[in-house]
Structure 1
Amino acid sequence: MNGNELLSKAMDVFIRYGFRKTSMEDVARAVGMSRQAIYNRFKNKKALFKAVVDAMMHESFDAARAAIEEDGKSIHARLLNAFDCAAGQHVDALRSSPHSYEVIAMVNVEGADEVELMQRQFNADIAEVLVSEGLFEDNKQAQDAMFAMFVASKGLLYSAENRQAFSDGLERVIRALLLNNATKT
């Protein structure tokens, strides 16, 4: 089993049982390895969780950056796709377990520095695209719009019933923020 598969299956276990109730034995069973093999790769459960979070965040934000740069689509569609990659794709998994809020809290603790760095870079990348598309006159305006979109996406991540509700809510936010530039989107 490759590392990405292992980390993905480990995240499923953490979401299903929560961080506290997940044992290394649970992870080992889910990935089809011995507990000792897991410990050979990761010092402890916290190290495994941090690796899971780092991999998930890198994958999500890399896909989001690719989505915002996709040719042939409107900026509105690219923004929706980018936010879906960054956060929306995780909504259904998070709603599938009563332990998801514990997992999110652990992500915010264990991966705080990395998450913050990636979020800032994501926001800056999209603000730059908004300026280059001519939707905002300067980077400050674009960063303000991006801040509003990002905060909305974070709120929707916690409150949307499912991925479609996340997308619908974010579409409303994007439409409202880009309303004055409707002819350009």
Structure 2
Amino acid sequence: MKTNFDKKKALGVFAQYGFRKTSVGDVANAVGLSRQSLYKKFGSKEELFQTIIEEYSEEIGLQALEILEEKSDDTKSRILSALDTIIGQHVDLMRNSVHGAELVRMGEQVMSSVGKGLMPQVMLKIAYVITESYDDRTKEQAEDDAFILFTLAKGLSLTVSSYAEYKDGITRAADRILG
């Protein structure tokens, strides 16, 4: 059941109030729809949240894959841009909300329960881009580099105090790993 509203705005409402205190009416107001239409389409706040997480994760995963396909930028820029799309752009949302960690935890539970495979695809694509661009890397080394960068990006998103700090950290790591 596809949503046709700004999922990032909806997630912002959950970040502002926390899952328990967010009402379907709060989300409806933020995305310009009626509370009744959201209840009719989703049935519950839990189903609404799960659908938003699933669809938003799919959207940003596909955007990251598209970025990695682009040949116009250098390899490091493409990888950093892809990581920014799936992880970095959410740092301020998580950091500026007392409910950010709760949403990340709930989002990861939703993603693991539905078995979405886009994030592993993004990591494999990063490894492919590294292999394609760096002759000195084996497939296994490129997969390790991709895993390290992805894991570091997630870790930074949970520990830094701002997007600027995230950007600095992941750029330094990419410079170290990719040269």
Fold similarity call, TM over 0.5: yes
Contact 2:130 2:137 in 1 (8 A): no
Q: Distance in 2 between matches of 1:27 and 1:161?
A: 26
Q: Deviations over 1:87-134 (max 9, x none)?
A: 111111112211111111110112224576222111111111111113
Secondary structure at 1:111 match in 2: helix
Quick one: distance in 2 between partners of 1:74 and 1:56?
Answer: 27
* CA–CA distance in structure 1, aligned partners of residues 54 and 105 of structure 2: 15
Q: Does the CA-based 8 Å contact 1:65-1:82 persist in structure 2? A: yes
- Please say if residues 57 and 115 of structure 1, whose CA atoms lie closer than 8 Å, have aligned partners that are also in contact: no
CA contact (8 A) 1:15 1:97 kept: yes
Corresponding residue for residue 160 of structure 2: 160
Partner deviation per Cα, 1:45-87 (whole Å, 9 max, x = no partner): 1111111111221121122112222223211111111111111
Corresponding letter in the other structure for 1:118? L
Mark the runs of 5 or more structure 1 residues left unpaired by the alignment: 180-185
- Check whether the contact 1:4–1:55 (CA below 8 A) recurs between aligned residues: no
| Structure 1: distance between partners of 2:135 and 2:155 | 24
1:75 corresponds to which residue?
75
Q: Is the 8 A contact 1:136 1:142 kept in 2?
A: no
Distance between the aligned counterparts of 1:88 and 1:106, measured in 2?
Answer: 18
Tell me the equivalent position of 2:171.
171
SS at match of 2:19: helix
RMSD (CA atoms): 1.9
Q: Normalized against structure 1, the TM-score is what? A: 0.87
Contact 1:123 1:147 in 2 (8 A): yes
TM-score (norm 2): 0.90
TM-superposed CA distance for 1:137, in Å, is 3.3
Query: How far apart, CA to CA, are the structure 1 residues paired with 2:158 and 2:122?
Result: 19
For the residue of structure 1 that corresponds to 2:18, the secondary structure is helix
Q: Segments of 4+ in structure 1 off by > 6 A?
A: none
Report the CA distance shift for 1:61/1:114 in structure 2 as closer, same or farther (over 3 A): farther
| Paired-residue identity, % | 34
**Offset at 1:170?**
0.5
**Counterpart position of 1:95:** 95
Tell me the equivalent position of 1:32.
32
Distance 1:130 1:136 in 2: 10
